[in-house]
Amino acid sequence: MSTKVLKLGHIGGRTFLMTAAIIAAIAGLFGVLYLAWFTEEHFTRSFVFEASMATRMNEVPQLRGSIGESHLTYGSAFVESDERLFGLRLILAISEALYFLLFIAGCASIIMICRRLWKNHPFTALAHWAMLVLGAMAGMTALFAPWLADVSNHLAAAELGIPGTATQIPENAGDVNWLVTSAEFSFQDANHPLLALGIVLILLSLVLRRGQRLHLDTDGLV
């Protein structure tokens, strides 16, 4: 009975590994297709970004109101431009491509790990480096992708003549509600869950490295 349970567990584990690898392969393929589609969209559709609305205190327009217990206010607006802005579109495309590349790399890592587990050789240098690279990519994406998006928006606003800071609002702005953007980036702007995932993956790569060394030291008994 014990032997039969072990066989069933072995078959179930193999089935899970095969299913996970197939799903990862399909998802990775869709990731590649979406990456190509989104990149093409960045250079053919209108360039859209969000900016904060600003005006001088003595020229605040009467756009506030209330309906019952609900209150209406304003603070930002979406700017849509059909200008070429090639460099800015490229920066924004790179910021979003980082997420797609991370997803595709994650799918490839899943396939590789499933293959290692299928062969009962999980502690390999390839698995260690795959987790290390994936963790580093996650950390870089968490930090650089939001920053690149902010830089793209800031440069687009400057290209279109929109003030980059509130101090650049003209003295006699009149009834114009100026939009301001900022290229300043702080740790609070980072993608914190993705950054935490990157740290976990890097630590996991170190665990796999220790496992590989222990595997070699014990002549493959581990």
pLDDT tens digits, 128-175 = 888 999 999 999 999 999 999 888 888 888 888 887 776 677 666 565
Distance between CA atoms of residues 4 and 1, nearest Å: 5
Average pLDDT, the chain: 81
pLDDT confidence of residue 209: 83
pLDDT confidence of residue 162: 80
On the 0-12 / 13-18 / 19+ scale of CB atoms within 10 A, 174 is exposed
pLDDT confidence of residue 6: 47
Is a pLDDT exceeding 60 seen at residue 39?
A: yes
* CB neighbour list of residue 81: distance below 8 Å, 6 or more residues apart: 46, 47, 48, 156, 160
pLDDT confidence of residue 108: 94
Distance between CA atoms of residues 171 and 177, nearest Å: 13
45: helix, coil or strand? coil
pLDDT confidence of residue 8: 40
- Three-class HEC string of 157-170: HHHCCCCCCHHHCC
Mean pLDDT value of segment 113-120? 85
Band of residue 60 on the pLDDT scale cut at 50, 70, 90: low
Is a pLDDT exceeding 90 seen at residue 62?
A: no
Contact 219, 212 (CB under 8 A): no
